[in-house]
Structure 1
Amino acid sequence: MNRNDTPNGSPAAPQASFSLRQLSDADWARFGAGEIAYLRPVTVNGVHAIAIHGADGAPIGAAPNAELAVAAILQHEMAPVLLH
């Protein structure tokens, strides 16, 4: 077993060279950009809908329900995340 292997012989995951605490606000805003889209329930003029936002918080769309919002996000090859 070399020093990069786990006891069961599989390679160990590489160690992060930095702490997440070192990320700036701008770094966090870019974290997941183009990969993650947030779903957020909203009410507009008394009508319930689902807002779709990019990882940086920028609005990128809306849908009448969560199922359609998730379908739209998946169609754009992004991962949906519920924000409440």
Structure 2
Amino acid sequence: MTKDNLSSIELKDRTVYVSAVNVADLPEAVAKGISQGRVYSLNSSTGERLALVKDRSLAFVLARQNEFHPVPVH
């Protein structure tokens, strides 16, 4: 998903949840080409994955740049 796609998402709840995801747990087509073992996912309140990014800091920056309120998931 591109930054433009993320900003065009129409969600009433502007909260997104940031969580670590093991690349091994991703579908093969998504994991292909990712060299690190973990990425970070931004998810809507319904659990829909909105974006995957390479690190936690970037996940929070991306959320805020698109007027979402990021919340960490432990």
CA distance in structure 2 between the partners assigned to 1:83 and 1:37 by the alignment: 10
Alignment of 1:12-27 (within 5 A): none
Q: Please tell me whether the aligned partners of residues 33 and 54 of structure 1 are also in contact (alpha carbons under 8 angstroms).
A: no
The one of 40, 54, 59 equivalent to 1:50 is: 40
CA distance in structure 2 between the partners assigned to 1:55 and 1:76 by the alignment: 16
Alignment of 1:1-84 (within 5 A): 33-45=12-24, 47-84=37-74
Gaps of 5+ in 2: 1-10, 25-35
Higher helix share: 2
TM-score of the aligned structures, taking structure 1 as reference length: 0.57
Task: Work out which of the two has the higher radius of gyration on C-alpha atoms and give 1 or 2.
Answer: 1
CA distance in structure 2 between the partners assigned to 1:78 and 1:40 by the alignment: 15
TM-score of the aligned structures, taking structure 2 as reference length: 0.64
Return the structure number with greater relative CO, CA threshold 8 A, min gap 6.
2
The runs of at least 4 aligned residues of structure 1 exceeding 2 Å deviation read: none
